[in-house]
Structure 1
Amino acid sequence: MCRWAAYRGDPIYLEELVSSPAHSLIEQSHCATRAKTATNGDGFGIAWYGDRPEPGRYRDILPAWSDCNLRSIARQIRSPLFLAHVRAATHGATRRDNCHPFVHGRWSFMHNGQISGFDRIRRRMESLLSDELFHARTGTTDSELLFLLALEFGLEVDPHAAIARAIATVESLSEEVCGDVLVRFTAAFSNGEALYAVRYATDDKPPTLYAAPLGNTLSYCLVSEPLNDDTDSWAEIPNGSMIVVNDRGLDAEPFLPEATARAA
């Protein structure tokens, strides 16, 4: 399983999540404590928002702990909203195009989880994309394809409904093609204004997700694992939840793909 961290609030240096804490994302890349695999060495990436609508991005296939540039970049870049990810590959080769976060226009997206039987339903998923979004795909991961599917389903207009429809579609295809369904999905995504996150699984074993304020009461970080040992400051996000961090702070609401798809 991958590990990731995201932040929205007053501008901070990326190092405050990526490299400085005792259990920073770089530390988690070789010593994760709340994942099935302790090592997440199949590449890394960061996406951050600044003065332009679209995010900046830096990705590489090196393990995060061995990239000589990552610590320097994280120490110099200051941003009010950023996503950072270290990868443990489940689908897709170790190459730069498969490293998170994925970016399209002003949107960025990163994911931790899996789709059982993805190789068998991938072509059906791709067939649902417009030509524009199909040709925007550069990698081979289930994560990037889920992101593009959400864009196809209206991520720009209604992020909750779009992600819910994308996952419900995957579940329907898995049932039809494979005869069973297993989706584990913990993701963060942003349009440069709000930060969104979802924790969901069909088997009640979703990848972990925690939230904590950082600085003032309107600034929050969302992480796969707490960044320090101050356990009282970290709230575990329940399965079946969607988190929105915006100018009003952090809000949580239920996330139910099947119910949303039936109501659409």
Structure 2
Amino acid sequence: MCRWLAYLGEPLRPSTIVLDANNSIVAQSLDSSLGAETVNGDGFGFGWYPTDAPAGTEPALFHSTEPAWNDQNLRELTRAILSPLFFTHVRAAAAPPIQQTNCHPFRYENWMFMHNGAIGGWHKVKRDLTLAIDPSLYPNVLGTTDSEVLFHLALTLGLADDPVAAVGRAIRTVESVGHEHDVQFPWQGTIAVSDGQRVWAFRYSSQGRTRSLFHSADVPTLREMYPDAERLRLFGDEAHLVVSEPLSEMPGVWVEVPESTAAILEPGGYRHEPFLAD
């Protein structure tokens, strides 16, 4: 469906990952080896939090309907700025139209959200799920994607207080409404969400066959494994990535996030929690 990447760590020029990695997100937009579609050319988005921004700062967003491989502005931005936390998403549109308001990541106040996957039977469940959004949040739904509706459902159900529980409640709502409309497998996807300080990444599907998701191992450990790897010197000790598919083929660099798991990245490292596991 799509490919995405999230970075948390010491301030970094995003181009280091977005453009320069062997299997960068831009390379994946042209030729994805693990994606449901090989080409993800239906627009892209880049969202970032400024360096040294206080807690609660709103992220900046750049969206384009051009393919990521064809957009010079993405190259200019990612080479010019420094950020300790950023998201990048390349889109393969399933049904909603190609327009800027349908490009991820989505934003509400200090929260940022992106998704790879789909709500099953969207045309059947769209009305019920949209009406479940808090009326005060509804005016902020600017596009037509199922992903943006899910984000606002999670906001409605307490994202600011407990992201893992809120995303879980939002997906359970999707499954409940889907089953009411005879949708066998209502939910499929990986999700990234951030408050500007941490990143929560989720892997879950109703069928138990979710799209791929990985995060990087600790940089100090990787330097011990690969003492001659010049590229690792570009990253600080706190640097972590979450990706739809690995950016390199170096053994030991990438840890697969298990099915029905939430991976929490925060200063000091990462941890896994069971997510909607039966």
Which residue in 1 is equivalent to 2:79? 75
Which residue in 1 is equivalent to 2:193? 189
Please, which runs of 5 or more residues in structure 2 have no aligned partner? Answer: 220-234
> Post-superposition shift, 1:90?
1.5
> What is the CA–CA distance in structure 2 between the aligned matches of 1:199 and 1:57, rounded to whole Å?
24
Which residue in 2 is equivalent to 1:239? 259
Task: Determine if the alignment matches structure 1 residue 168 to structure 2 residue 172.
Answer: yes
> Post-superposition shift, 1:193?
0.9
> Post-superposition shift, 1:118?
1.0
Deviations 1:62-90 (A, max 9, x none): 00000111111111111110110000011
> What is the CA–CA distance in structure 2 between the aligned matches of 1:141 and 1:76, rounded to whole Å?
30
- 2:188 aligns to what SS in structure 1? strand
Which residue in 2 is equivalent to 1:9? 9
Greater Cα shift, 200-209 or 144-153 = 200-209
> What is the CA–CA distance in structure 1 between the aligned matches of 2:26 and 2:5, rounded to whole Å?
11
Deviations 1:34-62 (A, max 9, x none): 11211000000011001260001100000
Greater Cα shift, 172-181 or 92-101 = 172-181
The alignment's TM-score, normalised by the length of structure 2, stands at 0.90
* Counterparts in 2 of 1:76 and 1:124: CA distance versus 1, 3 Å: same
> Post-superposition shift, 1:175?
0.3
Task: Determine if the alignment matches structure 1 residue 132 to structure 2 residue 128.
Answer: no
- 2:92 aligns to what SS in structure 1? coil
> Post-superposition shift, 1:183?
1.2
- 2:181 aligns to what SS in structure 1? helix
Which residue in 2 is equivalent to 1:205? 209
Which residue in 2 is equivalent to 1:49? 49
Task: Determine if the alignment matches structure 1 residue 149 to structure 2 residue 153.
Answer: yes
- 1:69 aligns to what SS in structure 2? helix
- Pick one of 93, 97, 107 that aligns with 1:89: 93
> What is the CA–CA distance in structure 2 between the aligned matches of 1:137 and 1:254, rounded to whole Å?
30
Please, which runs of 5 or more residues in structure 1 have no aligned partner? Answer: 260-264
**Amino acid corresponding to residue 44 of structure 1 in structure 2:** F
- 1:155 aligns to what SS in structure 2? coil
Task: Determine if the alignment matches structure 1 residue 227 to structure 2 residue 231.
Answer: no
Aligned length: 258
- 2:62 aligns to what SS in structure 1? strand
Contact 2:260–2:274 (CA under 8 A) maintained in structure 1? yes
Aligned residue runs from structure 1 range 29-40, under 5 A: 29-40=29-40
Structural RMSD (CA): 1.3
Deviations 1:80-110 (A, max 9, x none): 1011000001131000000000001110000
Contact 2:179–2:186 (CA under 8 A) maintained in structure 1? no
